[in-house]
Structure 1
């Protein structure tokens, strides 16, 4: 269960580093996943919701 944030949203964005690589693995609040070596590109992808991803077509998507 996700606790409410002070900003009134329950959206959770998660970015993990893939050990032994320069790759970041992101999971959006909608369940879509994305991998990138560029942290700025990763955040742009996440915060650009819903453009560029949806749970159906983006799971495991790599750029």
Structure 2
């Protein structure tokens, strides 16, 4: 999905699981089983991203 500001959000389903893996336009990554939780995390940028969460780390 591309937001109106041009940011790109990616969500991939991990085959064989109920897990979604998302990558925010800032490069942070997150995994969740609930699609609503995933979108809330992404759209809360940057408030939804933990300051201690390094890039490329799933939570």
Q: TM-score, normalised by structure 1?
A: 0.76
- Mapped partners of 2:51, 2:6: distance in 1: 17
Partner of 2:31: 35
Bigger proportion of residues as helix: 1
Matched, 1:20 2:19: no
Structure having the higher Rg: 1
1: CA distance, partners of 2:19 / 2:8: 20
Which aligned segments of 4 or more residues in structure 1 are displaced greater than 3 angstroms?
A: none
Gap runs ≥5 in structure 1: none
Query: What whole-Å deviation, never above 9, does each CA across 1:3-34 have from its counterpart, x for those lacking one?
Result: xx7x3x22000000001000000000000000
Q: TM-score, normalised by structure 2?
A: 0.80
- Runs of at least 5 residues in structure 2 that lack an aligned partner in the other structure: none
Number of aligned positions between the proteins: 56
Deviation at 1:61, TM superposition (A): 2.5
